[in-house]
Chains A and B, each alone.
Chain A
Amino acid sequence: EAQVTQNPRYLITVTGKKLTVTCSQNMNHEYMSWYRQDPGLGLRQIYYSMNVEVTDKGDVPEGYKVSRKEKRNFPLILESPSPNQTSLYFCASSLSAGGSGELFFGEGSRLTVL
Chain B
Amino acid sequence: SQKIEQNSEALNIQEGKTATLTCNYTNYSPAYLQWYRQDPGRGPVFLLLIRENEKEKRKERLKVTFDTTLKQSLFHITASQPADSATYLCALHGLTGGGNKLTFGTGTQLKVEL
Does B19 sit within 8 A of A, measured CB to CB?
A: no
Asked if B43 and A108 sit within 8 Å, CB to CB, the answer is yes
For A108, what are the chain B residues with a Cβ–Cβ distance below 8 Å?
Answer: 41-43
Asked if B104 and A105 sit within 8 Å, CB to CB, the answer is no
**A14-22, A38-46, A60-68: which one contacts chain B?**
A38-46
Counted as pairs of residues, one from A and one from B, with CB atoms less than 8 Å apart, the total is 54
Asked if B49 and A98 sit within 8 Å, CB to CB, the answer is no
The contact size tier of chain B is 20 to 34
Asked if B104 and A107 sit within 8 Å, CB to CB, the answer is no
Asked if A43 and B49 sit within 8 Å, CB to CB, the answer is no
Q: Which of A45, A92, A104 contacts B101 (CB 8 A)?
A: A45
Asked if B104 and A42 sit within 8 Å, CB to CB, the answer is yes
Determine the residue in chain A with the shortest Cβ distance to B104: A43
Name the interface residues of A66-114: CB closer than 8 Å to any CB of B.
88, 90, 92, 98-108, 110
Interface centre among B31, B89, B103 (most CB of A within 10 A): B103
Nearest chain B CB to A94 CB, angstrom units: 8
The distance in angstroms between the C-alpha atoms of A105 and B32, with both chains bound, is: 19
The contact size tier of chain A is 20 to 34
For A101, what are the chain B residues with a Cβ–Cβ distance below 8 Å?
Answer: 49
The distance in angstroms between the C-alpha atoms of A43 and B88, with both chains bound, is: 12
Determine the residue in chain B with the shortest Cβ distance to A9: B41
The distance in angstroms between the C-alpha atoms of A77 and B105, with both chains bound, is: 26
For A99, what are the chain B residues with a Cβ–Cβ distance below 8 Å?
Answer: 93, 100-102
Q: A56-B99, A100-B102 are in contact. Are A42 and B44 (CB under 8 A)?
A: no
For A90, what are the chain B residues with a Cβ–Cβ distance below 8 Å?
Answer: 43-44
Q: Which of A42, A88, A104 contacts B106 (CB 8 A)?
A: A42
Asked if B106 and A102 sit within 8 Å, CB to CB, the answer is no
Which A positions have Cβ atoms within 8 angstroms of B? Answer: 4, 35, 40-45, 56, 58, 88, 90, 92, 98-108, 110
Please list 12 pairs of residues, one from A and one from B, whose beta carbons are closer than 8 Å in the complex, sorted by A's number: A35-B104, A42-B104, A45-B101, A45-B103, A90-B44, A98-B100, A99-B101, A100-B32, A100-B93, A101-B49, A107-B42, A108-B41
